[in-house]
Structure 1
Amino acid sequence: MQPAYLFDIDGTLLKVRHKVNRTLIQRILERFGFNHIDVAGLDFAGKTDRDIFSDLLKQPDEDMFHQVKQVYLQELERSLSVSDIHVYNGVHDSLDYLRERAAWTGLLTGNFARAARIKLAVTGLLDRFRFGAFGDDHHDRNDLPPSAFEELVRHSGEQFRPSDLIIIGDTPRDVACARSFGSVAVAVATGSYSYEELSDCGADTVLHSLEEFPEWNERYVASRA
């Protein structure tokens, strides 16, 4: 059985212009009366959206959280355009490569599910992914792999094992969540962490970009045979 592949979004597949996303979040916080928070310098890398907004709102009750979430998603859908997003080199080729091999390809992202779909729809990548786990219900990224695994088994009808999952991301949190589930951790140095930093955090392999992914995968799959 060939592996299944789970991709992070931000920093791995694409980058939303920093100013666009941070400005949007800042504006929404101020609309709800959180005028004392400056999001410009905060580190969101590898966190789930639920964790990010819960921290920004100082552990809100569920009603407040869902109000802010809905406004954020509405504003993101209304304002995000293709000019606001850069898709990294190698992304289209890597996803084409996996599609040609009929590989099960999904998402493991801290984004809210609707935010993930908005970003991927704008870039034309949405139809490349058949299942996924998202940041709507989990503060801890390590809770996402079991959800993704359950979706994979349900959709595929195949008997995958955790070690059959390859989790691709750009932060130490992506690596840690793969490790927590006994899956293969592939780190890609296109986000805010360097190749050297990712090499030091326990990834099974580190790529400079997804341009290197097909060649790496050929070697990896051959080693499993």
Structure 2
Amino acid sequence: MNNAYLFDIDGTLLKIKNKANRKIIQSILNRLGIAENNVEELDFAGKTDRSIFSTLLDDPQESLFNEVKELYIGELDTRLAAGDIHVYEGVEDSLAYLAGRSAATGLLTGNFERAARIKLERIGLNSHFSFGAFGDRHHNRNDLPPEAHKQLQDQSGSDYQPEQLVIIGDTPRDIRCARAFGSVAVAVATGTFSRDELARHKPDVLLTSLEEFPDWDRAFTAGNGRG
């Protein structure tokens, strides 16, 4: 059986230019009179949207959380254009490579699910990802792999083991969540962390960009007798 591949979004597949999504969040908070935090300066790397918004709203009641979440998704859908998104080198080729192998390819992202799909729809990549785990419910990224694994099992009807999941991301939190589930941790140095910073967290493999991914995966799958 082939491996299955779970991709982070921000910092791994793409970058939102000029912090457009943060500006949307800040404008919503300002409109609601919640302006204590400077959203543009907060560390979002590897965190779930559930955690980020709960921090910004100071552990809100569920009704306020849901109100702000829906305002954000609505504004993102209205205001985010393809020109606001930079797709990293190697992303399209890597996804085409996996599609050519008919490999199960999903998402493991801290984004709210609808926010994730909006970003990917804008750049024509959404159809590559048939399943995933998202940041709607969980504060801790380590809770996402079991959810993605269950979706994969249900969708494929196959008995994938945790070590057959390849989790690709750009932060130490991505590495830790792969480790926590016993999966393969692939770190890519396209986000805010350098190769040296990521190397200190000992991923299974460290790539400069996803341009290197197909060659690495060919060697990896051949070495594991999968593919």
TM range (shorter): over 0.9
What residue in structure 1 maps to residue 187 of structure 2?
A: 187
What corresponds to 1:150 in structure 2? 150
Q: Normalising to structure 2: TM-score of the pair?
A: 0.98
Which amino acid is the alignment partner of residue 203 of structure 1? P
In structure 2, give the amino acid aligned to 1:102. Answer: S
Q: Secondary structure at the match of 2:9?
A: coil
Cα distance between partner residues in 2 of 1:35 and 1:209 = 36
The 5 Å alignment of 1:85-100 reads 85-100=85-100
Aligned to 1:126: 126
Residue 19 of structure 1, CA deviation: 2.8
What is the aligned partner in structure 2 of residue 136 from structure 1?
A: 136
Distance, in Å, in 1 between the alignment partners of 2:96 and 2:85 is: 20
Residue 78 (structure 2) aligns with = 78
Deviation at 1:33, TM superposition (A): 1.2
Equivalent residues in 2 for 1:36-47 (5 A)? 36-47=36-47
Give CA-to-partner distance per residue, 1:181-208, whole Å, 9 cap, x none.
Answer: 0000000000000011111112101000
Inter-partner Cα distance in structure 2 for 1:36 and 1:96: 44
With structure 1 as the length reference, what TM-score do the two structures score?
0.99
Partner deviation per Cα, 1:126-149 (whole Å, 9 max, x = no partner): 000110000000000000000000
How many Å separate the matches in 2 of 1:223 and 1:178? Answer: 20
Q: Which runs of 5+ in 2 are unaligned?
A: none
How far apart in 1 are the matches of 2:186 and 2:63?
Answer: 37
Offset at 1:103?
Answer: 0.2
Q: Partners of 1:6 and 1:213 in 2: how far apart? A: 13
Query: Residue by residue, what CA displacement relative to the aligned partner does 1:17-50 show, whole Å, maximum 9, x if unpaired?
Result: 1431121111011111112221121110000000
Gaps of 5+ in 1: none
Q: Percent identity?
A: 59
Letter aligned with residue 8 of structure 1: D
Residue 173 (structure 2) pairs with residue 165 (structure 1) = no
Partner of 1:106: 106
Count of residues paired in the alignment: 225
Q: Which runs of 4+ in 1 moved over 3 A?
A: none
